[in-house]
Amino acid sequence: MELTGRRALVTGAGSGIGRACADTLATHGAEVIVQDIDPARVSQAVAEIEAAGHAARALACDVADEAALKAAVADAGPVHILVNNAGVAGNNAPLEEIDRAAFDRMMNTHVWGAHAAMRACIAGMKEARWGRIVNIGSNRGQVGFERSSHYCAAKAALIAMAKAWAREFAPWGILANAIAPGVTRTAMTLAYGEQAVDEEARENLLSRAASPEEIAAWVAVLCGPTGDFMTGQLLCPNGGDPIVGI
């Protein structure tokens, strides 16, 4: 239980990758603040984590609500681990269908939401001189996609923010990294239909979608002692879609 004594805030933790991250960090001993905009999903996640013998707190709010995030952290105590996972789907929208409202919602949730969560948590991390930040990006934030350009931009921003925070907060022993999953079988992706998920999965080398738990396992690696020399990096559990870099 290498995270015993640590407190984690996981945004968008009511379902999908966020829920798997909350479950995994709790299993490793962390007290988890479960944030999601849906109160019912928050309540269910907290109840199930506690039923498994682990510690969890509920935070039902919009991730862009900085005041609510700060109030929750003030009530719970210092947060040592932040997983910026909250997001909304791009709906495979072409440029002409991405109006200002859709663009702002995308950026408010992914980018400002991560920024607001950081502002809520960073003082406690600095005081402890220990912190772990993991931004959940996407392979589409690396190589783009022919639709949903606002989603691609938001995910690319999360990757860049993690790199910048790694530089900014290293003097306090705070490590920041990002993960760029490939297609993952979640309620959000399945909203496009099983066929769409299967078609995208066939584009990777393993010809399958990831499970949320496979992504959460990498979050645990970055937050635990095995990740103590990793910062400013992007990990890509994507089944080989894409292969980039040298």
CA–CA separation, 125 and 106 (whole Å): 27
Q: 205: buried, middle or exposed (CB in 10 Å: 19+, 13-18, 0-12)? A: exposed
Q: Alpha-carbon distance 239 to 162, whole Å?
A: 22
Report which DSSP code applies to 210: B
Instruction: Please confirm, yes or no, whether 151 is among the known catalytic residues.
Output: yes
Quick check: helix, strand or coil at residue 20?
Answer: helix
Residue from 121, 103, 132, 21 nearest 66 by CA: 121
CA atoms within 13 A on the CB side of 167: 4
Rounded CA-CA distance 158/83 in Å is: 11
Distance, in Å, from the CA atom of 132 to the CA atom of 151, rounded to the nearest integer, reads 25
State the catalytic residue, choosing from 3, 24, 54, 151.
151
The single residue listed with the structure tokens 């993991």 is: 134
- Give the Å distances, CA to CA, from 245 to 131, 138, 154, 183: 28, 16, 21, 20
Nearest to 128 by CA among 169, 96, 75, 157: 169
Residue 146 DSSP SS3: coil
Six-digit token string for 156: 């690319």
Q: Which residues are tagged catalytic?
A: 151
